[in-house]
Amino acid sequence: MNAPLRVGVIGVGMMGADHAHRLATRIGGAVLTAVSDPRADQAAAVAARYGARSEADAMRLIAADDVDAVLIASPGVAHPEQLLACIAAGKPTLCEKPMTMDSESSVEVLRAEAAAGKPVLQIGFMRRFDPGYTEMKALIDSGELGRPLLLHNVHRNKQVPNPDFRSEMIVRDSLVHEVDVARFLFGEEITAIQVLSPAPSSLTGAGVVDPQVAIFTMAGGGLVTSEVFCNSQTGYEVRCEAVAERGSVIAGQPWNALYRTAVDGSGGAWGGQLPDDFTQRFARAYDIEVQAWVDAARRGERIGPTAWDGYAATAVCTAGMQSLVTGERVPVDLVAAPA
């Protein structure tokens, strides 16, 4: 395809608006043609900013003649219907995580894509495009460090803006990234998950279990620990350490390479700066991810995390939500991959 890829964005909350801006201003070979959101005024405002049109109905956006490809950043509950429509339309689709909210709906999407005979889905696990994580993956795959034994992840959000925030959202919406990272770096499935928690921080919402620590067992016997803390108060921190037989490697520390000194109340300080949220921490990863998606779509190809990756991550999180309630280790049983 020589013409630019005409992209429609569904959902213009924090992530969708960020992607709309990226598509309209930074991504080569793409043009933002339409945006859709049930909050019509928000959709109209984003559309007006970039000379796109707003479309009240997501299904109409997917079917529209001026939309070649779809970026889905709506809430996860809306994903199954929208993904099935994108598959039916045969349009390249980049869908933010989680692919769907539970294993059953993810299986439905997975099977629909397989039955359509043309893979169109890329799932938005952006850490796979973050330079630190990709370098780490290459180093592990080179074999230089020997077999990976352990992964330790830290994933902290400054605070959650949502007053309706619930404990299981930490597993389903935040931990899901570490689930994908573990599968990506080890190159194998997770067979069991256990979610534990200390006495919660007094600074989280009433009844919210935060922080949480999840332990994954990998198919090859590796172990993964992931701390997820959604009300750390300090800023957005994501890092990952892999421990292998002949060495270890850390991605994401410090989050940018800047070392700086500054004058503070006590006279002087040194260090870097914590970003406020994921749009800053992973700005480069999102740029690389969306550019790679656009380039592949224009070549008529599909790259990056697949519907299977989306399903497997959802299945682990579904088991994780069960473990959050019982404290028990819960096995993960995956369906057979479609032929």
How far is CA 35 from each of CA 7, 187, 290, rounded to the nearest angstrom?
A: 9, 36, 16
142 within 8 A of 184, measured Cβ to Cβ: no
Q: Give the residue with the Cβ less far from ligand ISE, 218 or 230.
A: 230
In the window 266-285, what residues touch ligand ISE (CB under 6 A)?
Answer: 278
Q: Does 130 bind ligand ISE (CB under 6 A)?
A: no
Cα–Cα dist 176/169, whole Å:
10
Is beta strand 260-262 parallel, antiparallel or unpaired with respect to 269-271? antiparallel
User: Least distance to ligand ISE from the beta carbon of 195, Å?
Assistant: 15
Kindly write out the interface string for residues 61-90 of this chain, putting x where it contacts ligand ISE by CB under 6 A and - elsewhere: ------------------------------
Cis amide leading into 254 (omega within 30): yes
Q: Give the residue with the Cβ less far from ligand ISE, 126 or 296.
A: 126
User: Least distance to ligand ISE from the beta carbon of 57, Å?
Assistant: 24
DSSP 159-174: ----TT--HHHIIIII
**Residue with nearest beta carbon to ligand ISE:** 174
Q: Give the residue with the Cβ less far from ligand ISE, 68 or 229.
A: 229
Cα–Cα dist 28/130, whole Å:
19
DSSP 124-148: E-GGGGSHHHHHHHHHHHHTTT-SE
User: Least distance to ligand ISE from the beta carbon of 277, Å?
Assistant: 8
Cα–Cα dist 216/325, whole Å:
16
What H or E segment, with its residue span, contains residue 23? helix 14-25
User: Least distance to ligand ISE from the beta carbon of 93, Å?
Assistant: 18
Q: Give the residue with the Cβ less far from ligand ISE, 55 or 180.
A: 180
User: Least distance to ligand ISE from the beta carbon of 173, Å?
Assistant: 4
14 within 8 A of 42, measured Cβ to Cβ: no
Give the residue among 171, 15, 172 at the shortest CA–CA distance from 94: 15
DSSP 213-233: EEEEEETTS-EEEEEEETT-S
Kindly write out the interface string for residues 229-258 of this chain, putting x where it contacts ligand ISE by CB under 6 A and - elsewhere: -x----------------------------
Q: How many residues bind ligand ISE (CB under 6 A)?
A: 6
In the window 143-182, what residues touch ligand ISE (CB under 6 A)?
Answer: 157, 173-174, 177
Q: Give the residue with the Cβ less far from ligand ISE, 285 or 330.
A: 285
User: Least distance to ligand ISE from the beta carbon of 177, Å?
Assistant: 6
Which residues in 314-332 are b (16+ Cβ under 10 Å) and which e? bbbbbbbbebbeeeeebeb
* Residue type at position 257: A
Q: Give the residue with the Cβ less far from ligand ISE, 52 or 251.
A: 251
Tokens of 33: 């043609």
User: Least distance to ligand ISE from the beta carbon of 66, Å?
Assistant: 29
Cα–Cα dist 131/147, whole Å:
22
User: Least distance to ligand ISE from the beta carbon of 265, Å?
Assistant: 30
User: Least distance to ligand ISE from the beta carbon of 157, Å?
Assistant: 5
Q: Give the residue with the Cβ less far from ligand ISE, 35 or 230.
A: 230
Binding site for ligand ISE (CB under 6 A): 157, 173-174, 177, 230, 278
